[in-house]
Structures are given as structure tokens and as C-alpha cells.
Amino acid sequence: MALKDKKLNSKDCPYCVGKGYFQLLLGGSETCMSCEGSGQKR
Ligand SMILES: [Zn+2]
């Protein structure tokens, strides 16, 4: 059986892992500067 880990899609932004934002420890979120919130690698 194959392990189903969260695999980083090659199209996903490596900084936010395709989410488009960062989750802040203190609460809230911040838009990823690298992909500008799209979550996609350019
Ligand atoms: Zn990003």
C-alpha cells in the first residue's frame, strides 16, 4: 500500500505549500508574498 502523504505539487508555491497564505502562530493569516495569494508557483 502506498503512503498517502501530503505531496508537494510541483505547481504549488513552495513557500505556502499551495495555500496562498501563511497561518500565523499568533492568529490570523498573511498572504504569501511569493505567489501573491494564488498558491501557484510561477
Ligand atoms: Zn505562496
Under DSSP, the state recorded for 29 is E
Cα(11) to ligand 1 centroid in Å equals 11
Number of domains in the chain: 1
Which range of residues forms the domain containing residue 39?
10-42
Query: Is 26 a domain residue?
Result: yes
**Residue 12 Cα, ligand 1 centroid: separation in angstroms?**
8
Contact between residue 16 and residue 34 where contact means Cβ atoms under 8 Å apart = yes
| Residue 38 maps to a domain | yes
Q: pTM score, two decimals?
A: 0.64
Find where cell 510541483 sits: 10
Ligand 1 geometric centre to CA of 18 (Å): 6
25-30: list long-range contacts, CB under 8 Å, 24+ apart.
none
Q: For the segment 1-42, what is each residue's pLDDT rounded down to a tens digit?
A: 666 666 667 899 999 999 999 999 999 999 999 999 999 997
| CA 19/CA 33 separation, integer angstroms | 12
Residue 18 grid coordinates? 499551495
**Ligand 1 center to residue 42 CA distance, Å?**
10
- Whether 5 is in a domain gets the answer no
Examine residue 19 and state whether it is found in any structural domain, yes or no: yes
What whole-number distance in Å separates Cα of residue 4 and Cα of residue 25? 27
